[in-house]
Chains A and B, each alone.
Chain A
Amino acid sequence: MKILKQIAQCLESGDDAGVPPLVRQALTEGIVPKTILDDGLIAGMNTVGEKFRVHEIFLPDVLLAAKAMYAGMDVLKPLLLSAGVSSRGRVVIGSVQGDLHDIGKNLVGIMLKGAGFEVIDLGNDVTAEKFVAAAKNNDACVIGMSALLTTTMPVMKEVVDLLKKESLSGTIKTIIGGAPVSQNYAGEIGADAYGYDCAQAVAGVKKLAAAVQ
Chain B
Amino acid sequence: MEAITSRIGRGQVLLADGAIGSLLMTRGLPRGAAPESLNLEHPEILEEIARLYLEAGAEIIQTNTFGASPLKLANYGLDGQAVAINENAVRAVRRAVGEQAYLSASCGPSGRILQPYGDTETEKMFASFQMQMQALIQAGADIICIETMSDVNEAQLAIQAARSVSTSIPVMATMTFEATARGFFTIMGVTIEKACRELEKAGADFIGSNCGNGSLQMVAIAKEFRKFTSLPLLIQANAGVPELRSGQVYYPETPEYMAAMCRELIGAGVAVIGGCCGTTPDHIRAMRKMVDEEMQQRQGIPDN
The answer to whether A154 and B247 touch across the interface, beta carbons within 8 angstroms, is yes
Q: A100-B187, A151-B249 are in contact. Are A55 and B109 (CB under 8 A)?
A: no
B302 CB–A CB distance under 8 Å: no
B1 CB–A CB distance under 8 Å: no
Partner of A185, one of B188, B244, B249: B244
- Which of B32, B150, B242: most chain A Cβ within 10 A? B32
**A55: which B residues are within 8 A, CB to CB?**
178, 180-182, 185
- Chain A, interface size: which category? 20 to 34
> A113-152 toward B: CB 8 Å interface, digit per residue (1/0)?
0000000000011010000000000000000000001111
Stretch at the interface among B98-106, B112-120, B222-230: B112-120
Query: Nearest Cβ in chain B — how far from A15, in angstroms?
Result: 12
B167 CB–A CB distance under 8 Å: no
The answer to whether B117 and A59 touch across the interface, beta carbons within 8 angstroms, is yes
B31 CB–A CB distance under 8 Å: yes
Number of interface residues of B (CB under 8 A): 27
**B247: which A residues are within 8 A, CB to CB?**
154, 157
Q: How far is the CA of A124 from the CA of B111 in the complex (A)?
A: 10
Q: A64-B117, A155-B31 are in contact. Are A59 and B242 (CB under 8 A)?
A: no
**B32: which A residues are within 8 A, CB to CB?**
97, 125, 127
B293 CB–A CB distance under 8 Å: no
**B244: which A residues are within 8 A, CB to CB?**
150, 153-154, 180, 185
Closest 3 CB pairs of A and B: A58-B189, A55-B180, A150-B242
Apart from A55-B181, A97-B32, A103-B187: 6 A-B pairs, beta carbons within 8 A:
A59-B150, A60-B189, A99-B111, A100-B109, A127-B31, A153-B244
| A interface residues, Cβ below 8 angstroms from B | 54-55, 57-61, 63-64, 97, 99-101, 103, 124-125, 127, 149-155, 157, 180, 185
